[in-house]
Amino acid sequence: MSKPHFRSGLSGARVAILNFREPLQSVAGGAEKYAWRVATHLVSRGAHVSFVTAREPDQPRSEVRRGVTLHRMGNRFTLYPLAALWLLLHRRRLDLVVDCMNGIPFFAPALLPRRTPVISLIHHVHDRQFWAFFPPWLARIGCFVEGPVARRLYRRCRTVTVSESSMLDLRERLGWTAPIQVIPNGGATCAEGVPPDPALGEPALVFLGRLVGHKRVARVVELADLLADRWPGLRVHVIGRGPEFEPLAQMVEENHLSGKVTLHGYLPEDAKIRLLGAATLHVTASEFEGWGLTVIEAAALGVPTVAYGVAGLRDSVKDGVTGWLASEGEHLADVVDRALKELSDPPARAGIAAACRSWAGEFTWERTVTLMAALVESELATRYAPAIVPEPRMSPETT
C-alpha cells in the first residue's frame, strides 16, 4: 500500500464520490444535491475530488466544475462496470471513496486495497422500488444484491443515511450490520415566505420533485378533479422533470384538467421559490423516500406538506405541526381537504407557517457537509494514522 497523498486533515486528500447521477442531469434529485454539496465542500477544504457518474447525451465525458472533476461514463446500466474499471485503474491513487448506493452499490470495497476507507452513503432501501419497476426475476436479483451481497461487502464500512427511518429500514429489512451514522439533508437557501398569489389558484397545491413512478404524481394531479366541488378555485402546479412528464400531460388532456393543472417542468431556482412560496400547500404522494428534501424546502418558505406516513416522510413532516400525514387506509384527497380547512383560518395558517420555518431552520447544508467532512477526516486519520508524517516543528534551541 502506497503512502497517502496528504499529510493531515483533508488538504491534498484524493477522494472519489461514486453517484448514479449528477445535479445537472434530467432526473437528478435530492441524492445528487447531497453528493454534490459534499463534493464541493471537500474541495473547499483542500481535497482533490473526482465525481464518477453516468453520462447523458451531449454531456462531456470529463470536466471540472467548482473544483470537482466530473468523470461521466455509460448509461444507467453500463455505468457500474465502467465505474468498476475506473476504480481499478485508480485504486492506488485514491485515499478514500464515498460509494453512494442507489439500490445497487458500486462494489468499491472489493475493488480497492483493503486499507483504503470506503464510506457507504444510502438514502433509503430500494427493495419495494425493484418490485414496482422491474420484472420479478430482475427484482429478485436487485433485492439479493442490495441485501445479502451489500450487507456482507460493506460490513466493515462506515454507513451514512439521511433519516432515522432509513436507518431502521437498513437494520430491519436489510439486516445491515455496519456502523450507521445519520446525517440529514440540508434545507433551502431561502427561508422567507412569499405572499399568496391568487392568480395561482386559491387554494394552490404544489408538487415539487422528480417525475418518476414511485413519486405517484398522478395522485396529486387528480386532486384537481376530486376536490373541485369542495374547493372550486383549487389549482394544482407540478414542478419537475422526468420520464413521467408525458404520461401526466396526457392525463391532464384526457381528463380536461388543463384549466386546473399546470405542468411547469423544470424551473430555475428563483422561479421555483416564487411558485413554491406562494402555495397554500405542498403535496407529495411518494410511496417511499430517504428523507424528503422538498418537504424542508417548502417548510423553509412557510408552506406545510401533506404526504403519506411512509419512511423518510414521517421524519421530515411533523404531523399536525408542519404538515399532515395520511395514515394507512386514508385517502389523500380527504387529508388535503382537512389541511385546507385548517389553513383557511388566517391565524392558524400563520402559526403553521411559523412552525414550518422553525423546523426547516434546523436543517442546513452547512451542517450536513460539515458532518460529512468530519467523518471523512476521521476515516482518513484512523486508516492512515501510521503513515501520516507530522509537520516538522522548530525546537526552542533552533529559534
Q: Is 195 helix (H, G, I), strand (E, B) or coil?
A: coil
Which grid coordinates are listed for 363? 436543517
Profile the chain (399 residues) by mean pLDDT over runs of 10 residues: 66 96 85 95 97 95 97 92 97 96 93 95 84 82 91 96 92 95 79 62 93 92 96 96 93 93 92 93 90 91 94 91 92 96 96 95 92 96 66 43
Contact between 176 and 260 under an 8 Å Cβ cutoff? The reply is: no
CA dist., res. 163 & res. 251, Å (int): 34
**CA distance to 54, 55, 151, per residue, from 83 (Å):** 9, 12, 20
CA dist., res. 43 & res. 13, Å (int): 9
Residue ranges and CATH numbers for the domains of the chain are: 14-186+364-387 (3.40.50.2000), 198-360 (3.40.50.2000)
Environment class of 270 (CB within 10 Å of its CB; exposed 0-12, middle 13-18, buried 19+): exposed
Which grid coordinates are listed for 73? 461514463
DSSP one-letter code for 396:
G
CA dist., res. 20 & res. 359, Å (int): 30
CA dist., res. 224 & res. 212, Å (int): 20
Q: List, in sequence order, the alpha helices (H) in the chain.
A: 30-44, 79-90, 108-111, 127-133, 136-144, 150-153, 164-173, 217-221, 223-226, 245-254, 269-277, 293-300, 313-316, 332-343, 346-360, 365-384
What pLDDT was estimated at residue 5? 67
Rounded to the nearest 10 degrees, how much is the dihedral formed by the CA atoms of 17, 294, 132, 339? 160
Predicted model pTM: 0.80
CA dist., res. 42 & res. 30, Å (int): 18
What pLDDT was estimated at residue 7? 61
What pLDDT was estimated at residue 396? 41
Q: How far from the centroid of its chain's Cα atoms is residue 350's Cα?
A: 29
Instruction: Write the DSSP assignment of 129-194 as a string of letters.
Output: HHHHHS-HHHHHHHHHIIIIIHHHHTTTSEEEESSHHHHHHHHHHS---S-EEE------S-----
Which grid coordinates are listed for 69? 472533476
What pLDDT was estimated at residue 308? 94
Q: How far apart, in Å, do the first and last CA atoms of the chain sit? A: 37
Long-range residue pairs from 318-323, CB within 8 A, at least 24 positions apart, any chain = 318/355, 318/359, 321/352, 321/355, 321/359, 322/352, 322/355, 322/356, 322/359, 323/282, 323/295, 323/299, 323/356
Helices 346-360 and 293-300, interaxial angle, to 10°? 120
Environment class of 333 (CB within 10 Å of its CB; exposed 0-12, middle 13-18, buried 19+): middle
Residue 329 makes CB contacts below 8 A (sequence gap 6+) with none
CA dist., res. 142 & res. 144, Å (int): 5
List residues bridging with 385 in a β-sheet: none
What pLDDT was estimated at residue 9? 79
What pLDDT was estimated at residue 134? 80
